[in-house]
Structure 1
Amino acid sequence: MNPGLNMTYLILGGHVEVQKYRYLYFMILFTAYILIICCNTSIIYLIVIHKSLHEPMYIFIAALLLNSLFFSTNIYPKLLADFLSEKQIISYQVCLFQVFIFYSLSCSEFLLLSAMAYDRYVSICKPLQYPTIMRKITVVFLLVLAWLLPACQVAVVIILNINNKLCNFTLKGIFCNNSLIQLYCVMSRALSVYGAFVLLNTGLFPMLFIIFTYTKIILTVYRSCKKKAAQTCLPHLFVLINYSCLITYDMIIARLESDFSKTARFLMTLQIITYNPLFNPIIYGLKMKEISKHLQRLLCQSKLN
């Protein structure tokens, strides 16, 4: 690559023997992407068409799955194209956009899970006040906040980095994430502090809020023996634990200049972009009885047709 090209394009250096296994990688990830689209859209479709599912809990689930679709679409098309390309490169401007979408939607996932936790808390701990508290305007406000707040905060970081000078042009990943900061010649301390603030504001604080609400729910269930009500919380907790572990890897381990092997990084990165988008609709489709009931009917109708 010539110097002019280096100033514009970055090399995605996280691929492992892509020349040898390009078609295998492509088929596996293409299959995963199709499944992600089919599984998520199926659950969203069921929630939209059935009035019995037009409740805050199911609306938040639909929003979470829609978030997964946007998240996957930000990564998979470019990744699939890279597998079939001779050179795995990306323009710096597109890379910044990919980082913006990736972290905006990642933070939105935590806020959506927080909204779901709050909905379950009100439903179980304050059942008589539930219709008053969880009104339509409240649900809309929480959804707008979950998508708009992270987007605005992450956008500030991206805008401030647009003209930042690059001293390296090879990313250690297979798509653009926070490893991009290792390419800058100088990283502003103020920007680092602001980045930590964004992480706390849209990641740690929502997680602490979720832990607090579920602690209250567990105590309430223990006192009143509302075991059936508590079962609706299990999928949310399962999703939260899995996603927290994967994002923790992305935010901490991926930034360290360590001897963490390239193959291990590659496999962990694939889990980040595959696990939740693929398994969230399966978890909610199987564990949420109302969704599961409508899903079984839909599958039976498909077989009859």
Structure 2
Amino acid sequence: MLNSTSSPFSYFILGAYMDVGRMKYLYFIITAVLYITIIVSNTLLIVVISVNRSLHEPMYLFLCSLFVNELYGSSGLFPFLLIQILSDVHTVSAPLCFLQIFCLYSYVKVEFCNLAIMSYDRYVAICHPLQYHTIMTHYKVLILIVGIWLYSSVSFLTALMLNIRLRLCGNVLNSTACRNYLVVKLACSDTKVNNIYGLFGTMLTVIVPLLPILFSYTKILKVCSSGSRQTRQKAASTCTLHLASLLNFSFGCLFEILQSRFDMSNVPSVLQIMMSLYFVFLQPLLNPLMYGMQTSKIRNSCKDVFYRKKLTDNTEPV
């Protein structure tokens, strides 16, 4: 909770919104449709994986965790964004701003860590197929999923508590949503500890997931180079989607870092907004579409769910 003695400001002003007049209703509709699509698609796949026992395998359980995180991250932004689009005064209370910061940044950490354990899962499946179920037990999968959520939440909560204690000399954030680094830039007290911990936390956010990803794909490439055509096809079918998701999210985070830490005054405002929100817009939207359409077991399970529902409706007595 925000300590009232730490800052004279009880709210922040978001300075990146443009006066678009009646166009705001169009932007509201577009944003609402995107949010509804994200909610429906991710929820559908979570339900399909949960109710279908044949999908209770490590790969799909990690995907389920990924889809839950997409709901979590998008819900930390979209409802807030919808309110701001319709509002003429773009302000947010300090507690709500810090809550949004926690949601968005812990979402990033969970996403990277989840993609890391998914790469490890693919490594075991391709490089040690006979020992796969012995290594990737349901207990180990549960520990890994709970571990990444706890690690991500606790590690960023520490940074957030340090920032809440800062004394701020301003309350204008040049952004469409609350950003951790922009809040620190407003401080007129010593931020050395915050900067050191922030740099350390950023390195951990990147390095901790990157190590298992590099290790896994190095081993996978080594096996593929000396393996059979069937092994290469299996690797391509299971790793392509993961790599696409990883690259898309990495580019989104890179755009956000560039937008928040460097002077982007020469970049059009609309492009600035898109760059800063890319990682929360595109990742929750594309992941369920990619995995739902390209993963045959999930695609067939979705068909079965709808087919059974339709069959049940048709056989109901009049």
TM-score (norm 1): 0.93
* Residue from 182, 186, 197 that aligns with 2:185: 182
* Residue from 229, 242, 250 that aligns with 1:244: 250
Give the Å deviation of 1:162.
1.3
Asked if 2 retains the 8 angstrom alpha-carbon contact of 1:6 and 1:169, the reply is no
Matched, 1:297 2:304: yes
Alpha-carbon distance in structure 1 between the residues aligned to 2:47 and 2:261 = 38
Give the Å deviation of 1:234.
1.0
Matched, 1:50 2:56: no
Alpha-carbon distance in structure 1 between the residues aligned to 2:160 and 2:209 = 22
Give the Å deviation of 1:300.
4.2
- SS in structure 2 opposite 1:62? helix
Alpha-carbon distance in structure 2 between the residues aligned to 1:299 and 1:88 = 43
Alpha-carbon distance in structure 1 between the residues aligned to 2:48 and 2:222 = 33
Give the Å deviation of 1:112.
0.5
Residue 229 of structure 1 aligns with an amino acid whose one-letter code is K
1:220 corresponds in structure 2 to 223
Give the Å deviation of 1:185.
2.0
Give the Å deviation of 1:268.
1.4
Alpha-carbon distance in structure 2 between the residues aligned to 1:252 and 1:209 = 26
Q: How many residues align?
A: 301
- SS in structure 2 opposite 1:257? coil
- SS in structure 2 opposite 1:99? helix
Larger radius of gyration: 2
1:234 corresponds in structure 2 to 240
Alpha-carbon distance in structure 2 between the residues aligned to 1:93 and 1:145 = 27
- Pair 1:61–1:265, CA change in 2 (3 A): same
State which drifts further: 36-45 or 292-301.
292-301
Consecutive unaligned residues in structure 1, runs of 5 or more: none
Consecutive unaligned residues in structure 2, runs of 5 or more: 1-6, 314-318
Alpha-carbon distance in structure 1 between the residues aligned to 2:24 and 2:264 = 27
1:211 corresponds in structure 2 to 214
1:184-199 → structure 2 map (5 Å cutoff): 184-199=187-202
Alpha-carbon distance in structure 2 between the residues aligned to 1:165 and 1:266 = 28
- SS in structure 1 opposite 2:188? coil
- Pair 1:302–1:21, CA change in 2 (3 A): farther
- SS in structure 2 opposite 1:174? coil
2:281 corresponds in structure 1 to 274
- Pair 1:19–1:302, CA change in 2 (3 A): farther
Q: Considering only aligned residues, what root-mean-square deviation do their CA atoms show, in Å?
A: 1.8
Alpha-carbon distance in structure 2 between the residues aligned to 1:294 and 1:210 = 29
Asked if 1 retains the 8 angstrom alpha-carbon contact of 2:42 and 2:67, the reply is yes
1:1-305 → structure 2 map (5 Å cutoff): 7-178=9-180, 179-225=182-228, 226-230=231-235, 231-261=237-267, 262-301=269-308, 305=313
Give the Å deviation of 1:298.
3.2
Asked if 2 retains the 8 angstrom alpha-carbon contact of 1:105 and 1:147, the reply is no
Residue 178 of structure 2 aligns with an amino acid whose one-letter code is C
Asked if 2 retains the 8 angstrom alpha-carbon contact of 1:167 and 1:184, the reply is yes
Give the Å deviation of 1:229.
2.0
Alpha-carbon distance in structure 2 between the residues aligned to 1:136 and 1:122 = 14
Asked if 1 retains the 8 angstrom alpha-carbon contact of 2:8 and 2:168, the reply is no
- Pair 1:227–1:299, CA change in 2 (3 A): farther
Asked if 2 retains the 8 angstrom alpha-carbon contact of 1:285 and 1:292, the reply is yes
State which drifts further: 212-221 or 80-89.
212-221
Residue 245 of structure 2 aligns with an amino acid whose one-letter code is V
- Pair 1:17–1:86, CA change in 2 (3 A): closer
- Pair 1:6–1:89, CA change in 2 (3 A): farther
Residue 255 of structure 1 aligns with an amino acid whose one-letter code is R
- 1:140-181 CA deviation, whole Å, 9 max, x = no partner? 111111111111111111111113111221111111123222
- SS in structure 2 opposite 1:90? strand
Residue 305 of structure 2 aligns with an amino acid whose one-letter code is L
- SS in structure 2 opposite 1:11? strand
Give the Å deviation of 1:26.
0.6
Asked if 1 retains the 8 angstrom alpha-carbon contact of 2:110 and 2:148, the reply is yes
State which drifts further: 6-15 or 88-97.
6-15
- SS in structure 2 opposite 1:233? helix
Alpha-carbon distance in structure 1 between the residues aligned to 2:185 and 2:310 = 52
State which drifts further: 267-276 or 114-123.
267-276
